[in-house]
Every structure is written in structure tokens, then in C-alpha cells.
Amino acid sequence: MDEANLLMGVQATVSELGQLINGTLVTSGQSIPVVNPSSGEEFARCPAATVEMVDTAMAAAAAALPAWSARPEAERRAVIKAMADAIGANYATIEEITALEKGASSIALEALAAPWFGNHIAEQELRVDIIEDSAERTVKVVRAPFGVVAAIIPWNAPILILAEKVFSALLVGNTIVAKPSPFTPLATLFVAKIWKDLVPPGVVNILAGDDEVGKAMVAHPTTRLISFTGSIAAGRAIAAAAAPGLKNVLLELGGNDAAIVLDDVDPKKVAQRIFDSAFTGHGQVCAAIKRVYAHESVYQGLVDELAVIAHERAATMIPVTTKPQFDRVSELVTDALDHGGKAVAGGAPAEGSGYFYPPTIMTGVGPGVRVVDEEQFGPVLPVIPFSDVEWAIEQANATEYGLCGSVWTSDIAHGEQIAARLECGTAWVNQHTEIDPKIPFGGVKSSGIGRNNGQVGLDAYAELKTVIVYKDRERV
């Protein structure tokens, strides 16, 4: 489909969208602009929720909670599966919308992962832990719902992260009010439309809007759990807002993932995998490699290989999704160059319109330079040499971030020993950046609170409730 027809089709779809509240699509008459990062120009207006709509959605979620949480577990699972399958059945339209919202249809592959996650969650066990089962009594721990969940979704993988949050919450018996990023709201509202008749009214509510809508969701007295994926700054603000009401928080925040490359690797063998991790989604992935520490004996070979790949990929690069992030990437590279750094590939915005920035490999930088110390969340990778692996481990841990890390080596046992010392939520040996609905994911330190995915991730949406039953009827 050519761009003009694509635009017409998406705009026609947008005209049918609204906020999903209590089983109905509603509009306020207000809208927010949505920009195509490939051109830097507005291509659509998204229906916007008002702060008053938050009250309505929260009331609907609260009213739907008793019946949904009491619904047989098998029926809840069937609803989740139908919702997941609906995303898969409508993938082509989601891809079209995403191609404009995010500037590249290839990133829409995250929408393909959403049905995978949904079908896994629909079949995941809601554990009951038996502590004691004697002649006198049974003691068990069950998973009970928190109540109403407020979920706030980032712009980099909106459909996948929406699906993971909504399906996990629903399986436990919660109801939910969710909000996408104002940068990428359209695909999420389209998903709301296809879910409208699949889930009972009020169980799932989806609102698109500005930050004030998100703040109202977080502060609302009905909210019992806030599930947020995004920046550390926003996560801190959410935690502070949740504190007065002692609300539960599940926070998956930023990362500045380090990869440590030891002296026993072949740079030609590992360069492609390291590059693919660092530049997945054009670097706009929380669990991507953000900095590489390479042993001095393999450093130059690795840099040379990464530069070759970067030059090859420049012709097929996708844009940075948002203007603020594009400006930040540009600022960090300029700062590195001003502090003696060298861009052996990339190093400046691409010419022309849109938010295009080529894959950039930086050398000559180290601790104290922002591109090393801060999360870039874009197509930039600093590579830093080391002679002492203890120094590399120290540098990898010398940050407030603690999301992921990796070690690359031919000595698996040694690699595992080093990985165990990395202060992060996920540590790989000879791999970096992968998602799997059965593998828990989350950060330590400022990179988050709690875990998504797997049994631990499901428990994040549950109150662990102890039930003790005495069996002797003569006691009463």
C-alpha cells in the first residue's frame, strides 16, 4: 500500500475510535496530535479523554470488579484468549497504524508478540500454595485480586506491554483502566475497539490523553495497583503519588545495560549479536545493550566489526519515535564529541525530514561522559576498552540503573560467575535482549520495583491471601 492510501485508511479508522469506558466507545470532543516520526509532521488527531472521564472509568471498573473476580477462572481465561486472538486477527490494521505512529511498520512486530503473551497468560497457573494439610486444618496461600489496576503504557512497545498488563491483571480477577502514551495512542484505541464486545463492560477501560489523565489515574482513590513502564523520573513521581494511599506499585523503569566482552571471544562472531541487541527497535528498547566494555585485546576488532554493520544498516534505518527522544540522542552524541569522543559510524542526524539518526558507534569516551553514564534509549552505542575485568564489573555496576547486563565469553562457567556479580534484574551469558512470557523481567535499584512475566509477574497483580480452615466441626 502506498503512503497516501495508507494515510487515508488510517485516518478513516481513527474516525471510528474513542475511549473505551464501561463497554462503550465515547468521545469528549477533544483531541491530541499524533506525529509521524518519518516526516516529523502531524498526520492525525487522536480522540482525547478528559480528567472527568477518569472518574467515570474508575467507577465502571469498580462496579465490574465483584462479578469479574467471582467469575469462574475458566471463563476469565477464555475471555483473555479471545482478546489475544483478536489482536492477531487484526494485526494488518494494527501494523498500518503503527507504521505511521512509530515511523516504521517493522516495529509493529511487537504486536505479533501480544497474542503469544496473551495465550500464555490464559493458560498460566493461578497457584495455590499448600502450607499445611493435616487432619486438624488446611493452611494455604491463594492469589486474590487487588481491585482496580491503573496501567500506564510507554510509546516504544504499546500493544505488547498493554497486552501483558491487561491480561495479567484480568487473570487474577482485577479490573483495569489503561492509558497509552500520547505519542502512540492510536493503535491502542484501535485495540480497545476490537476488545469492546469481547470483555464485560467496565472490566477493561482504555483512555488516551495527556499526562494529566495519567496523573488522575494514579491519584484516584479507587486505584489499588499502579502498573507503569517508562522512565525513572516518571516512576519516582508515581511512587510518590502512590505513597499517601499506600497503593501498590509495579514499576519497570529505565536501564543502562552493560555488556562485558572478555578476551577469549572472536569479535567477528559476537559483533552481530551485540549490534542486534543494542539497535533493536533502533535502540529504543529498555533491555537493549547501552554500553559495551571490551577487553583491550579484542576491543579494536569489535569496534571495527560494529562500525561495518552500522554503515550497512544506515541505509535501512528507522526513525527515532519522538521528537524529544531524537533531540536527546543528538544532545548526548554532541556532548560526547565535545568531550573527546569519536563517532566511528554515524554521529550526526540524517539529512532531510523526520527524526532519523543513523546507528552510531562511539569510542574515546568513558565514565563521566553522559553517553556512558545515562540511558540513551536510541541508536547510540559507546564501546569502552578495559584491561582488568574487575574494573569492567565495577563500571557496569557504578550506576543507579539495574535492569539488565551480559557477559560474552568462551568460558561459560567464568561468564556465569561474572554475571552473578552484575547488579541487575536479568543477566545473560552470550546473549542480551530477549522477551518471553514465562521468564520474569524487571530491574533493581532505580530500574524498578517488582517483576513482569512468569509466575512472579502474575503474583505482582495479586494479593497473597492466607486461608486457614479448621476441619473439626465440633469446634463450633
Catalytic residue among 286, 404, 423, 424: 286
Q: At CA 81, angle to CA 156 and CA 70, rounded to 5?
A: 110
Amino acid (one-letter) located at 471: K
Quick one: CA torsion of 72, 77, 82, 88, rounded to 10 degrees?
Answer: 170
Strand partners, 463: 144
Give the C-alpha separation, 364 to 336, whole Å: 9
Nine cell digits for residue 248: 501498590
Given the residues 101, 110, 164, 252, the one annotated as active site: 252
Please indicate whether residue 404 is annotated as part of the active site: no
424 catalytically annotated: no
Q: Which residues are catalytic?
A: 252, 286
